[in-house]
Amino acid sequence: MPVPDIQLFLYGKWLFNIDHAQALLKVHPRVAKPTPVADWAAHYHMDRLAPGYAGAAWCPVFGPDLSAFNADHALRTDLNNPVIIATMEFDGGRPAILLIDGVHRMYRAMTEGRATLPAYTLTTAETTRIRER
């Protein structure tokens, strides 16, 4: 019997289990709140994924991974499906957020000029539960 694919998100050294995040959100539902597309697009350097990008050939360490990105798929995603944002703590409890599910949706929203997308934000405790490393 084939093993089902597990949706994971790798960001630097951190690995997040998106399937677990989605299951957690079903058990602990919340209202999706708007998150700014331009901020996430800039953070993930999504302009470098756009067709015809003519900027620098280099890409920052945490920039887009072209091997895992499919622009055609991105343009068919459902922008009404909320993205998932993880919350982590650094420097003695200072929170930081990270988009862990919805990069393709964020790309589509950027290309279409959308200002926001709906988002679920996980607490630090929830993020710890779905983080595999």
Query: Under CATH, which architecture does the 1-50+77-123+129-133 domain have?
Result: Alpha-Beta Complex (3.90)
Q: 3-class SS at 121?
A: strand
**What length does the chain have?**
133
pLDDT tens by residue, 103-117:
899 999 999 999 999
pLDDT tens by residue, 71-104:
788 899 999 999 999 999 988 888 999 999 998 9
CA 78, 121, 25, 49 dihedral sign is positive
Domain ranges (residues) in the chain: 1-50+77-123+129-133
pTM of the full structure: 0.87
